[in-house]
Structure formats: structure tokens, C-alpha cells
Amino acid sequence: MKKRHLVLTCIAWLISSASASADLALCNRTENETSVALAFRENHMWTSAGWWVIKPDTCKTIVKGELLKSPYFIHASQHDVGGTWQGSELFCVDKGSFTVKGRQNCEDRGFETKKFFDIESNGRSNLSLDLMPLANLPRPDLPPDEPAH
């Protein structure tokens, strides 16, 4: 039986109701544990950090307090099923818990390069992002005499 891969996308921004706290939270709306890395600009230097592990159907606060370092960039993956949320921005990551300054020459410095997608807080003080499954791929092979629908 072929291994099924989950193609993932982030499809929903949820602006949480007004509250005293100001945070960036990620919610895992899938059936699999998800690992998340974050990148942002601080004092004219790019920084990437991770990994936050988010269990299925739970949320985790990734940035506590005011969202002053916008834009933020996210890379998330589900290693057990091969799914990834990614964009086009390149940042450095490491295998275990990490904080990396700079985003250039990752491999030369002993890190891996991963693609991140950007999220803008647009002045919002509280932001929640849902990570949701899109579809299961590959589709099972159909018998030759059965047309695809």
C-alpha cells in the first residue's frame, strides 16, 4: 500500500475576540502532530526559532505579547505523514530546539534551509492561525476501465 501524503495549506485567519493579552497562536486542525518554526526581524537581524510541537486539534501560543515584529514567517511540517506548510521565504532551521540569527548560508553554518510563509499582523494585537489539511494524496489508482471523476 502506498504511503499517503497529506497536502496542507493554511486557509483561515481567525482574529480572536478582544482580550487583555496580545498573542500569536497557531491551531492544528489536523489529525497529526505538527512541528512549527517561526522567523522574524529583530534589531535589524533576521531570527528563526523552533520547534513548537502542536498536538492535533489544539492551539499553542507562539508569540506572547504585542506583535511588534511583523511580518512573521512560519514553517510547519508533519514528519510522520510528509505534509508541509511552506511559502517562498528561506530561513535556517535545525533538527532540535533552535534559535538562529541570520538567514544566509544556512548549510555553511551547519543548519538546514526551509521555506516559510509570511503572516502580517496588520496592527492586530491578537492573532490566531489555523493549519488545516487540504487533501489526501496520492489518489488511489483506478482500474483501467473506470474513468476518473
Q: pLDDT tens-digit profile of 95-105?
A: 999 999 999 99
Mean pLDDT of 80-108: 94
Range(s) of the domain holding residue 115: 21-135
Mean pLDDT of 74-100: 92
- Asked if residue 138 has pLDDT above 50, the reply is no
Q: Please report whether residue 25 resides in a domain.
A: yes
pLDDT at residue number 27: 95
Mean pLDDT of 40-50: 93
Q: Please report whether residue 83 resides in a domain.
A: yes
User: Nearest-CA neighbor of 22 among 93, 121, 109?
Assistant: 121
Q: Please report whether residue 142 resides in a domain.
A: no
Q: Please report whether residue 130 resides in a domain.
A: yes
Kind plus residue range of the DSSP H or E element containing 113: strand 112-119
Give the predicted TM-score (pTM) of the model.
0.74
CATH number for position 47: 2.60.40
pLDDT at residue number 135: 56
- Count of domains for the chain: 1
Cell numbers for 110: 551547519
Q: Please report whether residue 34 resides in a domain.
A: yes
pLDDT at residue number 132: 87
Kind of pairing, strands 98-101 and 83-85?
A: unpaired
Q: Which of 41-50, 52-61, 125-134 is predicted with the least confidence, judged by mean pLDDT?
A: 125-134
DSSP characters over 2-71: PPPEEEEEEEEEEPPPP-S--EEEEEE-SSS-EEEEEEEEETTEEEEEEEEEE-TTEEEEEEES---S-S
